[in-house]
């Protein structure tokens, strides 16, 4: 195998397409399904962007409205994968790789592969940022949200004040949950989508969603949570906690395989023309290039990494 691509998200698929266009044999491996991160988005999510900005492989994307839904995106990327007959192995996670440029060995949960080059496009959605408080390991704590229905008539706490937290708080409230929002900052984040921000702020003003700002979670108990608020410690009834505190790349895996990061930003050291890392023959694509600044790279610009890397790889392989 010429190239092994780790990750079957939109960027990984774009890498596979661009390599195939240049006659470079490749295989795409993912521990989950195709575009697994998008699959784990909330069931009724609508993208902030427009369809053409999610396109890869010059395949048009259509949507019923101005902004595509999660379901439309999943259908689109399935269609792209089928159109290009990409060699995708779903539910086959990469455990490790070893070797050097031109002669790598990649070990997965199912097989072992040889590769001349490796592209890591594993995204950042697999590792949630933890609260690091007692009780966070209780089953009631959720880091990934799908839909509101199971939480009807329950006391729920949403931690955070960015887009995901605001949307989840609103959906839970409108499904009949008793919602409390807690955020360490002074207000709903200024970058929350323009049609969501006034909605959640009005629900808070009307006391339909209870909010504690400049506050943090101190402890999570089976039937309550303890908050550290400006007025002191407060214990409130609670059955579920949604910790919407963000996600990060799997730095443990990347560090173990020779990917060097800047200590402050966690951005990897790369050749910005080719996206090759300091480990020769290993390329990085998508959001992991941004390190902890995950708001710098989205599908809209990460999809172009495929062409950038494919050109460099095809040139190197001759």
**In the CATH hierarchy, which top-level class contains the domain 3-127+247-317?**
alpha beta
Residue pLDDT, tens place only, 114-137: 999 999 998 877 778 889 999 999
The predicted-structure confidence for 5-28, as pLDDT tens digits, reads as follows 999 999 999 999 999 999 999 999
Task: Give the number of other CB atoms < 10 A from CB of residue 304.
Answer: 14
DSSP state of 130: P
User: How high is the pLDDT of residue 318?
Assistant: 80
Helices 163-174 + 197-205 axis angle, to 10:
50
Q: DSSP string covering 210-235, please?
A: EEEES-EEEEEETTEEEEEETTEEEE
pLDDT at 292: 52
Domain range annotation of the chain? 3-127+247-317, 130-243
CATH number of this structure's domain 130-243, picked from the four choices 3.40.50.2000, 3.50.50.60, 3.30.70.20, 1.10.260.40: 3.50.50.60
Domains 3-127+247-317 and 130-243 are alike in CATH topology: yes
- Give the pLDDT mean for 143-159: 95
pLDDT digits (tens, 9 = 90+) for 18-72: 999 999 999 999 999 999 989 988 888 888 888 888 999 999 999 998 889 999 9
Confidence of residue 300 (pLDDT cuts 50, 70, 90): low
Is 17 or 256 the better-scoring residue by pLDDT? 17
């Amino acid at each position: 195998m010429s190239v092994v691509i780790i990750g079957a998200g939109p960027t990984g698929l774009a890498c596979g397409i661009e390599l195939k266009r240049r006659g470079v044999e490749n295989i795409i491996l993912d521990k989950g399904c195709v575009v697994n991160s998008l699959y784990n988005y909330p069931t009724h999510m609508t993208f902030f962007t427009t369809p053409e900005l999610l396109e890869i492989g010059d395949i048009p994307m259509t949507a019923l409205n101005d902004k595509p839904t999660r379901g439309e995106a999943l259908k689109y990327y399935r269609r792209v994968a089928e159109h290009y007959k990409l060699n995708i192995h779903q539910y086959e996670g990469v455990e490790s790789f070893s070797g050097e440029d031109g002669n790598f060995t990649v070990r997965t949960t199912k097989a072992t592969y040889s590769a001349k080059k490796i592209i890591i496009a594993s995204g950042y959605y697999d590792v949630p940022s933890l609260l690091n408080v007692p009780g966070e390991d209780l089953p009631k704590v959720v880091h990934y949200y799908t839909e509101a229905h199971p939480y009807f008539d329950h006391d729920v706490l949403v931690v955070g004040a960015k887009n995901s937290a605001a949307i989840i708080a609103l959906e839970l409230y409108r499904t009949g949950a008793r919602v409390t929002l807690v955020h360490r900052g002074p207000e709903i984040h200024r970058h929350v989508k323009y049609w969501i921000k006034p909605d959640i702020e009005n629900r808070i003003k009307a006391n339909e969603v209870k909010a504690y700002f400049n506050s943090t979670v101190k402890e999570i108990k089976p039937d309550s949570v303890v908050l550290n608020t400006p007025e002191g410690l407060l214990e409130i009834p609670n059955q579920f906690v949604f910790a919407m505190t963000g996600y990060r790349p799997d730095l443990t895996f990347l560090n173990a395989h020779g990917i060097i990061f800047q200590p402050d930003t966690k951005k990897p050291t790369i050749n910005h023309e080719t996206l090759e890392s300091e480990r020769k023959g290993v390329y990085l694509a998508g959001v992991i290039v941004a390190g902890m600044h995950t708001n710098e790279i989205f599908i809209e610009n990460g999809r172009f990494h495929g062409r950038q890397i494919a050109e460099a790889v095809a040139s190197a392989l001759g």
